[in-house]
Structure formats: C-alpha cells, structure tokens
Homo-oligomer: A and B are copies of this chain.
Amino acid sequence: MNNSFFEIAQILKENKYFILFSHISADADSFGSCAALWHSLTLADKEAVILLEDNLAENLKFLGKGVKVFQYDSKEGEAFIKEAEKNGGYVSICVDCASVDRFPKREELFWNGKYTVCLDHHLTSKHICDYNYIEPSASATGEILYKLIKSTKMPLDKNVGEAIFAAITTDTGNFQYSNTNKESHLIAAELYDLGVDFNKVSIEIYERSSLAALKLQAMVLSALEIFNNGRCCISFVSQDMLKETGANMDDSEGLVSKLRSIDGVEVSILLREHENNKIKGSLRSKSDADVAKIAQSFGGGGHKKAAGFTLNTSIEEALKRVSEEVIKSI
C-alpha cells in the first residue's frame, strides 16, 4: 500500500540528511526527478546529495549543474555519508526504481538509511521501503515528484521545474506515448509559471547527439531489412560498426523505436553485439503484436510493446533465428 504524500512529506520535514538514488544508466526521469527533489530539499535548508555508481549521460549533465552529485565511493560522497551519520543518519530515497538490482553497488548504502523511501511509477515495482509511493498511472516519476512537492507545499522554483519538465517530456516521448495523460500537460502548463525555459531544456536533452552517433544511425539504417510482407524490420549494431564510427553502444539507444516508425511495420527488432557471441535484442511493436512473448521464447521478457532478450551466438545466426521466430509469432 502507498503512503500518502503527507506521510512522506513528514519524513522529509523531520529529517536533515538525504541521499537520493537514481537507477543505473539513469534516464532523464530518474535523474531529473532526483534533481527536482534535491533542489526542493535544498531550498528547505536540508542537506542532500545524489549518489551515483556509474557515469551520467552527457545530455543529462545540465540537470546536475549546481546540484551535489557524486559517485557513491568518491571522497565527497564518503564525506557526506560520514557527516550524516555523525548527525543521526540519513534518509535513503530511491527515485524511479524500486529494486536493488537497479542500484547494486549502492545497496548497502541504501539500506543503511534510517528510513527508506521509494518514489516510482513502474507497474512492476514492489513496496520495498519504509515509505512508498508507486503510481503506475503516472506518466513519469517526475509527475509524482511534482505532485508530492506541490501538494505538501515544499519549495518549488525554476530549477525544480526544469528537472520535472525534463523527466516528463522524455518519459512521455514528448507527450506522444500512450502513457501521456491530462496531468502531464496540466503540470507542464503550471511549470510555465515558474519561468522554466522549456526550449533550453529540450536543446540540452535532444540536441547533443554526437557525430559518431549519427554516423552509427546511418549504418543501422543502411543495414535495415524488411520482411514478412513489410510487417517486420530488423537491423543490428556490431562491434565493427562501433569501431568504424567511433560511437559507443549507448548511442544506439532509441534506434529500435525509430525502426518501428516505418509505415506498415508492426514489429521492429534491433540486435546489438555487446561482445563476441553476446547479442542483446530489443523488440518494439506499434499496435497489436505482443513482443514480450517473442522475447520470452528467447528467455527474455518485457512489455507487450517493448521487450528484450540476450542470445549467446553470432550476429548472423541471431538475425536468422530472431527473424524466423518473429514470423512464426505474429
């Protein structure tokens, strides 16, 4: 059962030190929601940090400007933990994630908090903390953060607003995905009153592609094949393609959705060679096809419209096997 915003706000008000946990490979919803909460807590004279265990994506660094963001095992991170413990301990808050495998290296640190709090919108999330607010109907965790902050009269400024907008606009596919709702737009409208520079946020998030990433995209599109009477398409990213373009695997994020955008295509597949004979496959469907089932047949899983799996084989073999399975399934 969820706690009320009032109960969660009480924990925030009654304590002084907070450690915020975004998930590994943080996206704008996880990190933006952390940043929003950090700004609000800091405006309320609290001591807060966001502690990470991996590097923040280049296009999210602007959200960390002026924010105390450290690696969990850095000098600054450890100094904060020490100070918090000297002063009666800290509250751990996991944001946009509710499972320790989403912050594995920080697990001990998380449970060492005198209270644990979870703020999340994932359907599969469990109530693992002392205080939980998990609302799958929210378009983004940023939406939950905004409602928490506003309804409990926590401080709200332009920085909070920019981080909330970043969270919502990315998780809703810029207000296009089916998780977008009336609230997403009403919140965005309210953020205008905080003086948020939406276009700046958008340029920071979306207009920082690397040349290497675009060259990789060109290669993936060139390698694209359509099959099953135009209903399916498949392409791949090989280690050779990464070498040739200078891109890294993260640069292929989102490409599988782009492949789905072809007229008539119902299922798109992108195979990514993470290492020799280790292929990660991503599947997307446009409307009716259930790609979770296809992923399951390879030992993977996911949602109806977005799923994934891992195969220990060559790219050539994977292309063949996956295409055959997809034709069988849809």
Identify which of B182, B185, B208, B221 contacts A217 (C-beta below 8 A).
B221
Q: Any chain B CB within 8 A of the CB of A180? A: yes
Complex contact B211–A199 (CB within 8 A): no
What residues of chain B lie closer than 8 Å to A192, measured between beta carbons? 181-182, 185
Known: A188-B185, A221-B217, A224-B214. A261 touches B206 (CB 8 A): yes
Interface residues of A in 218-252 (CB under 8 A from B): 218-219, 221-222, 224, 226, 233
What residues of chain B lie closer than 8 Å to A211, measured between beta carbons? 224, 226, 233, 262
Known: A58-B263, A175-B169, A176-B198. A214 touches B221 (CB 8 A): yes
Q: Any chain B CB within 8 A of the CB of A286? A: yes
Give this chain's copy count.
2
Complex contact A176–B189 (CB within 8 A): no
Q: Any chain B CB within 8 A of the CB of A87? A: no
Q: Chain A 274-288 against B: per-residue CB contact (8 Å), 1 yes, 0 no?
A: 000000000000110
Q: Please list the residues of chain A having a beta carbon within 8 angstroms of any beta carbon in chain B.
A: 58, 169, 173-178, 180-182, 185-186, 188-189, 192-193, 198-199, 202-203, 206-211, 214-215, 217-219, 221-222, 224, 226, 233, 258, 260-263, 286-287
List 10 contacting pairs A-B, 8 Å CB cutoff, sorted by A. A175-B175, A176-B199, A181-B192, A182-B193, A185-B189, A206-B261, A207-B286, A209-B262, A215-B224, A218-B218
